Structure 1
Amino acid sequence: MDEGPEASHREAPMTRAAPFAAFEFLIAWRYLRAKRAEGGVSAMTWISLIGIALAVAALIIVLAVRSGFRTEFVDAILGANAHVTVYEQRFDGPSGRFDYRIEEFEALTAQVQAVPGVTRAAPLIRGQVMGTANDQNHGVIVFGITLEDLKTIPNVAGSERSQGDIDDFSQGVAIGSGVAKALRLAIGDRIKLISPNGVRTAFGTSPRVKSYTVSYIFTAGHYNIDQTRLYLPFEEAQSFFNKEGFADQIEVFVDAPEQAEVMARKLREAAGESAVVETWRDYAGGFLRALAVEDNVMLVIMIVLILLSTMNIISGLIMLVKNKGRDIGILRTIGLSEGTVLRVFFLCGAGIGLVGTLLGVIVGVVFVVNIDAIFSLVNYLSGGQVWDPSIRGIYHLPSELRGVDVLNAVGISLFLSFFITIFPARRAARMNPVEALRNE
């Protein structure tokens, strides 16, 4: 049945556009690149973008340096120190004191070596003495060890900046590069060791003084180790410290240093009731905990920095909404929904955050990859006083670029950028089109 001419004038039902349609991206792009004469905020867009990029780059650099510093510190500690140390503690009734000597050190070393997961176990003599040479004095910590065991210490035997031949250790001593520098020693020079617990005489105990030839100089990578460490052949150390026939401790290396606490329980069971077991975390744990606290504080500061940078997006979008009030009214009157307007302005803010984050990742990664060259330049321009190894313990600024750190920085930046954008976008979407056109 013909419905007459009215049918030709009947309005077709309005079709709702799909979210994030192409025209929404086109409108958002036009608003972002608008010129000042058109009421745009291109200057604010650039400020927001650069601010986010710098904040993301700073976060990536901080995370990379944090990871590198911890890795470098732990490697330096584990590469020159025992992962687990075994002592013996017995109460001596007649003297009323505890006796820490390990008399059956060979048997105890064999018991410890048999524990699954132990890669090496070695008896040690340890003592503190005064080293002197060339009219210079310097306190050193002496470790009595055999040549075979010394060769198994990675950062000592495998030192890239070593001097001399480690095979000559049995004819002399091995010293850290810091000790050599403090006493002005080179290979073949003599170092005099002075111990207050020396020879017992009828008139008391006189200091023991003996000279040794420097046969090997190493750089372990940790300032405190290089500055104080001296290795002496095991039997010679027993004689020098009046400890013939026993050892002070058993140093143990394991195949999983991060699981040293688990290994400590097994070693305590194998060593017996009188054994006292310490891990590398016991003497380095305080520094690691302080480093973890500093890491968390720096992470919070960097997140706040990104948040402050994303605040520029809010101010820019608020200005954009104010300047585009007439446009919003026209868009609403021709049929665009609140959701469409919201998505347009959300795309404006999200686009700034996305591009800024991408630029920040590029800048941060390039900086971390070239951090040695950049730091060398800064150190040169400042006169070489930027990095003091005596305070930081290591000789250079380390960095370790990890994918998870980059993803964390990207995730934090994008989340804050997208979240911040919602509020001015909702304000634009809820604007009354009639009021917007009337005000224009």
Structure 2
Amino acid sequence: MIAWRYLRAKRAEGGVSVMTWISLIGITLAVFALIATLAVRSGFRAEFVDTILGANAHVTIYNLGEVDPQTGAIDRTLPDYTEMAARVADVPGVIRVAPLIKGQVMANARNRNAGIEVFGIAPEDLRSIPRIGQGDAHEGRVEDFADGIAVGSGVARELNVSLGDTIKIISPNGVKTPFGTKPRVNAYPVTYIFSAGRWDIDRTRVYMPFDEAQVFFNREGVADELEVMVEEPEEVDKLMMPLLNAAGERAQLWTWRDASGGFLNALEIEDRVMFVILAILVLIATMNIVSGLIMLVKNKGRDIGILRTMGLTEGSVLRVFFICGAFTGLIGTALGVILGCLFAIYIDPIFAFVNGLSGGNAWDPSIRGIYYLPAKLELSDVASAVALSLGLSFVVTIFPARRAARMNPVEALRYE
């Protein structure tokens, strides 16, 4: 009751000071910034990993390779890819296995050129790729893929092509003639345009029917690799030995963690650093509670002396001022949580507004990799922010509250 009266009292009556309001606003903004940052971090990682798992192989199976005695080159193709794919598909936890032909070539359309990476894949396998054959952002019908090629939205923009247009695919390793190797040039209609949600994928990737890719890249009767999708991509390490045993002794595996592990590790380090920095901001905000409480204790010195002479114990006085400081931290934390959650929920219109103010340059997908700023609220993130803010608020409140409790009532009433 006493703490509540002190909190409601006006400044002229020796109540809550300006410093207390400053600390309340500071804690609110600090908790808001912490929750918003954690939500954006979680959303960015979730979106980035989803684009990896939804458009790329969870595990890629290569051949260790054999040296060609005539040319000295290492041949890593898979001549028995059909049998190998059947064995790998029988491994528990594997949901799809697709033979692939891969090659880096150049694409041309109306005097515009672009470097691309061609994936030769069967039409039924393309339809099963979540971010490619099953995505919402696409043009055309994936069923028409067998009649042409599927290109990323970035490739289509770079070459300024749309559905039905023709693209020339140029490979320097083409037809062998008595006068040397002649570049192979074939023209294909664009029958499907996809968007995988990743700038680097949409900007470089083109899919070609598997049979046509075998002919175009001189891979008749062989495949370059096997693309494997599993039920639990996060637990892919547990399937390494079964996959190696099924693929054969000369097989070599490359998981999605191997391909993107460095970037994900960098994200984890950045997350920890950002959490520490924002935790320091929360600490600075909570330190203002100390200033406000010290001023409150000084203003209420006469009251403390009277209460002590009436029989109020040191512990009771400590609780009075502890409640005053803790209540400030509690209200500031609650307001910060509300603002942070609202920011994460309505991040799309907020981002659109900021992007409009900046002239559309607030987010560069060529640098960020993805096309928008995502946010994902995690209960653990909100709980950690609340625990940090309340813990610091309670700890810093103890010092001025103890000072008030140990005040000598004779000294407090000496000049009254």
| TM more than 0.5 | yes
TM-score tier, shorter chain, comes to: over 0.9
Match of 1:133 among 81, 95, 109: 109
Residues 74-223 of structure 1 aligned to structure 2 (within 5 Å): 74-92=49-67, 94=69, 95-223=71-199
Query: Distance between the aligned counterparts of 1:32 and 1:84, measured in 2?
Result: 61
Instruction: Report the alpha carbon displacement of residue 404 of structure 1 after superposing the two structures with TM.
Output: 2.0
Q: Which 5+ residue runs of structure 2 have no aligned equivalent?
A: none
Contact map agreement 2:137 2:195 (CA 8 A) in 1: yes
Query: Distance between the aligned counterparts of 1:93 and 1:382, measured in 2?
Result: 57
Query: Distance between the aligned counterparts of 2:65 and 2:33, measured in 1?
Result: 54
Structure 2 residue 333 is matched with structure 1 residue 335 = no
Classify the secondary structure of the residue corresponding to 2:223.
Answer: coil
Query: Distance between the aligned counterparts of 1:387 and 1:141, measured in 2?
Result: 26
Aligned partner of 2:8 in structure 1 is 33
Classify the secondary structure of the residue corresponding to 2:9.
Answer: coil
Match of 1:57 among 10, 32, 50: 32
Contact map agreement 2:68 2:75 (CA 8 A) in 1: no
Over the matched positions of the two proteins, sequence identity in percent amounts to 63
Aligned partner of 1:415 in structure 2 is 391
Contact map agreement 1:83 1:257 (CA 8 A) in 2: yes
Contact map agreement 1:179 1:228 (CA 8 A) in 2: yes
Instruction: Report the alpha carbon displacement of residue 340 of structure 1 after superposing the two structures with TM.
Output: 0.7
Q: Give 1:297's aligned amino acid.
A: V
Query: Distance between the aligned counterparts of 2:284 and 2:110, measured in 1?
Result: 58
Q: Give 2:344's aligned amino acid.
A: V
Q: How many residues align?
A: 415
Classify the secondary structure of the residue corresponding to 2:103.
Answer: strand
Structure 2 residue 337 is matched with structure 1 residue 352 = no
Instruction: Report the alpha carbon displacement of residue 131 of structure 1 after superposing the two structures with TM.
Output: 0.6
Query: Distance between the aligned counterparts of 2:379 and 2:238, measured in 1?
Result: 29
Match of 1:241 among 217, 224, 237: 217
Instruction: Report the alpha carbon displacement of residue 96 of structure 1 after superposing the two structures with TM.
Output: 4.5
Classify the secondary structure of the residue corresponding to 1:434.
Answer: helix
Classify the secondary structure of the residue corresponding to 1:394.
Answer: coil
Query: Distance between the aligned counterparts of 1:261 and 1:363, measured in 2?
Result: 40
Query: Distance between the aligned counterparts of 1:281 and 1:400, measured in 2?
Result: 22
Q: Give 1:77's aligned amino acid.
A: I
Structure 2 residue 227 is matched with structure 1 residue 251 = yes
Query: Distance between the aligned counterparts of 1:304 and 1:90, measured in 2?
Result: 54
Query: Distance between the aligned counterparts of 2:159 and 2:334, measured in 1?
Result: 52
Contact map agreement 1:34 1:42 (CA 8 A) in 2: no
Q: Give 1:403's aligned amino acid.
A: L
| Larger Cα-atom Rg | 1
Aligned partner of 1:290 in structure 2 is 266
How large is the RMSD of aligned CA atoms in angstroms?
A: 1.2
Q: Give 1:69's aligned amino acid.
A: F
Contact map agreement 1:125 1:238 (CA 8 A) in 2: yes
Match of 1:326 among 302, 318, 339: 302
Match of 1:72 among 30, 39, 47: 47
Instruction: Report the alpha carbon displacement of residue 256 of structure 1 after superposing the two structures with TM.
Output: 0.3
Query: Distance between the aligned counterparts of 1:404 and 1:93, measured in 2?
Result: 55
Instruction: Report the alpha carbon displacement of residue 97 of structure 1 after superposing the two structures with TM.
Output: 4.4
Query: Distance between the aligned counterparts of 1:438 and 1:208, measured in 2?
Result: 102
Q: Give 1:156's aligned amino acid.
A: I
- Displaced runs of 4 or more, over 4 A: none
